[in-house]
Chains A and B, each alone.
Chain A
């Protein structure tokens, strides 16, 4: 293709990265941040099979070749995808990206704006609130093995949103961010920066989707969330990329004293999807809940890595990841609860449940604990098995055929997590997405 403009170059070419930073000229610190990302990316090795943080993961198929930066989509395409992006009837704000380009800048109510709430694209925030970004942008490290991918994300940082809710402001309706991939071979690097000041309350729902199911794409997302003292952050992240996507999501949340953090990760799409979700509790009284659900079909691999760090005592964290596996799919759950030496009176739990609906699927589970304080209540559990035969018989005895009964039981299995989603409309959308997926397989 002779007409390739520099902005659609291969992401592994240094020239592409340099050109990509051109648009941010004037924000030197930001350009340097990206440059540093590129250097780190170039220096770090690709993960290998015997790397502990990649255990059970199919590292041989990791491949970053032949992805390019996305072109600006056409107006028709934009209109079409925007029309498909209304998952909640009255969101507090909606932002939409296609192939890394912001195509709908969020508009929030005058009331929220007056309260000092900021919900902007990363590019707008860079212009309007550089100090805020300097303080919070990419301050977390990827502690779970994805450093190289996070470095590449940093090198191409451009798309995404910033959500800042000031002290004491409580917003019930979710903010919504939708990321689409559209062009074959596109690489996207969506970023989320969420800051809830003292006693602020917010909810953010993220939908990551592809315009066509067989699209080849690379998605490396990062989310940094900060919950101030007494703040409440609720996040729902839906990974619904196309079946030929390699996706990586590196989420880091830190919670101050008395903060309340809840996150639900739903995984449906991608050929291989890796989630690294870290929550760090820095103050007493914090309460963290991490949930995950997935339905893996075909040859999908869902690789879930979680870390619950208790740096402060008298806090709680709970985790529940549930996977349904069909066909030749694979899920890996690796979770660690770390209780620091002085984090007494910690309550921390972790549960992974895998439902195998096929003899060829594989569920790997590594629930871990590292406890350095004695006055704690910590436990974890992992189970892998088939549907409960007594439950199945009960359904059959009502005349429900086997495949329908299995699907009902699997949907019921997921419901425990879907019921934690803070918005019923959004939960219904994803419930339906899962149902569709069952029917397709």
Chain B
């Protein structure tokens, strides 16, 4: 085998199944805000949704902030300059309300989600599902027993309209409009997403799931999620996403705010599998009050460029924050991910484990922020970043920033970069595995401890995705 063949087969070996979401249906939208971003577009969205004036003002203010803020290319990749905001469509919807049964969902849309396996998963193990097609949810249903316990699961329009006393207090507070350019953009044109409230003491055993689908070319998806877990409650939320392969770039820019009140636990799981032309620029942050816990479990496989640094503000004593992250970057992909831990109370602890795999000319970047100001005592952070480089010109970067003051606070950061060792591959091949299978095993082994943290159904799916593709590529 020549060296080039080697490298090719290695790359194919760990290529995951990106074709699963690569199909699309005809576009026929009743509501279309047109192309480009302007006050008119923002007003159009507010009109279609029939929003109260404070929301419209929030949107218009955000539009101004977005326009005023520069692209963060002084630290981020120049690739951001390739987003043409004037060519994007900011709102597209077929005009129907979210259905409570799949039968009511239009056939082509229903087929889309069936091909993605959503209804099946719902039957099997989910407490509730919301499916978003471009700008709006087409299906939203939660099991009845959840509603009886007082759990609210709806979209932002319904949440702010029907339960303002719950959601308005936190909306845009965890992530203010001006947090960054893309949170401002989302705040201006947000549509779709999940607003969830879990009442005091309610522990939702099964996960709630949202599935995001981009179907139209040149489209920007801007869903907004706000989860409030009241005192002592627990919830797991999962999101998945796909888009067909288009010739032109597509933009996905979400804002996700989590609020874990005293003693509550929120676990937020993402499997991001956008097609390789999507700019995925997402702001995610949680607040953890006293004895509360916020965990982000984040897996990034798709997209052209992902920039996402889930954060936790540890606001109450003994609050815990965690980010577990897997990123896989192939040719033409840049996974720029990381974590932010802001310690703001005594005895808070945070843990970050980030693993990335760079294949071909793929690039993965870790950016981290750990902040422990003075006046705090007995806080701890542990960070581990491991990067696996598969091919000769695979690339990885690590940029942590750690700031520590205070009494008895301690921070530990470790990062390593390695490749799959030739001896390891040889050993497995000597036992009869093909090179592809060996590479697949090695890669799975590398991420194994993190994959285990995903709920069973997801971790099986993740492993299967990787393995299936490898088998196919080697034969």
A contacts, CB < 8 Å to B = 50-52, 55-56, 341, 344, 354, 356, 359-386
For the complex with contacts A361-B405, A365-B404, 10 further pairs of A-B residues with Cβ separation under 8 Å are: A52-B74, A365-B401, A365-B413, A367-B415, A371-B389, A373-B392, A374-B358, A374-B392, A374-B393, A383-B411
**In the complex, what residues of A have CB within 8 A of residue B396's CB?**
369-371
Quote the shortest CB–CB distance from A228 to chain B (angstroms): 30
Q: Roughly how many angstroms separate A382 CA and B412 CA in the complex, as a whole number? A: 6
12 A-B pairs (CB sep. < 8 Å): A341-B392, A341-B393, A344-B392, A362-B404, A370-B395, A370-B396, A376-B418, A377-B417, A382-B413, A383-B410, A384-B404, A386-B408
Cα A377 to Cα B386 in complex, Å, equals 12
Whether A374 pairs with B401 at a CB distance below 8 angstroms is no
Q: How far is the CA of A55 from the CA of B403 in the complex (A)?
A: 11
A256 to B290, CA, bound (A): 56
CA distance A55 to B401 in the complex (A): 9
With the chains together, A52 CA to B417 CA distance in Å?
Answer: 24
Task: Find chain B residues with CB under 8 A from A356 CB.
Answer: 404-405, 409
Could you tell me if B411 and A368 are in contact, using CB atoms closer than 8 angstroms? no
Q: How far is the CA of A377 from the CA of B415 in the complex (A)?
A: 11
* Interface majority SS (helix, strand, loop, mixed), chain B: strand
- CB within 8 Å of A: which B188-227 residues: none
Asked if B395 and A366 make an inter-chain contact with CB atoms under 8 angstroms apart, the answer reads: no
Question: Which residues of B are found within 8 Å of A363, using beta-carbon distances?
Answer: 403-405
Contact status B403-A374, CB under 8 Å: no
A15 to chain B, nearest CB (A): 36
Interface residues on B, range: 35 or more
Residue of B nearest to A332 (CB): B403
How far does the Cβ of A234 sit from chain B's closest Cβ, in whole Å?
Answer: 28
Choose one: A362, A371, A385; the contact of B397 (CB below 8 Å).
Answer: A371
Q: Which of A55, A354, A366 is most buried by chain B, counting CB atoms within 10 A of its CB? A: A366
Q: Residues of A contacting B374 with CB < 8 Å?
A: 359-360, 362
Do A367 and B400 touch (CB < 8 A)? Answer: yes
Contact A364 B411 (CB under 8 A): no
Are A384 and B410 in contact, with the CB atoms below 8 A?
A: yes
Across the interface, do A373 and B393 meet the contact criterion of CB distance under 8 Å? yes
Minimum Cβ distance to chain B for residue A308 (Å): 13
What B residues does A386 contact at CB under 8 A? 408, 410
CB distance from A49 to the nearest CB of B (A): 12
Per the bound structure, the CA–CA distance linking A360 and B374 in Å amounts to 6
Tell me the minimal C-beta distance from B369 to chain A in angstroms.
10
Is B390 interfacial (CB 8 A cutoff)?
yes
A75 to B454, CA, bound (A): 76
Q: What residues of chain B lie closer than 8 Å to A382, measured between beta carbons?
A: 400, 402, 411-413
* Given A373-B393, A382-B402; A367-B413 close (CB under 8 Å): yes
B236 at the interface (CB under 8 A from A): no
A346 to B76, CA, bound (A): 26
Provided the pairs A362-B403, A364-B403 are in contact, do residues A374 and B394 lie with their beta carbons within 8 angstroms?
Answer: yes
Interface check B75, CB cutoff 8 A: yes
Is there contact, CB below 8 Å, between B399 and A366? yes
Measured between beta carbons, the chain A residues less than 8 angstroms from B75 are 52
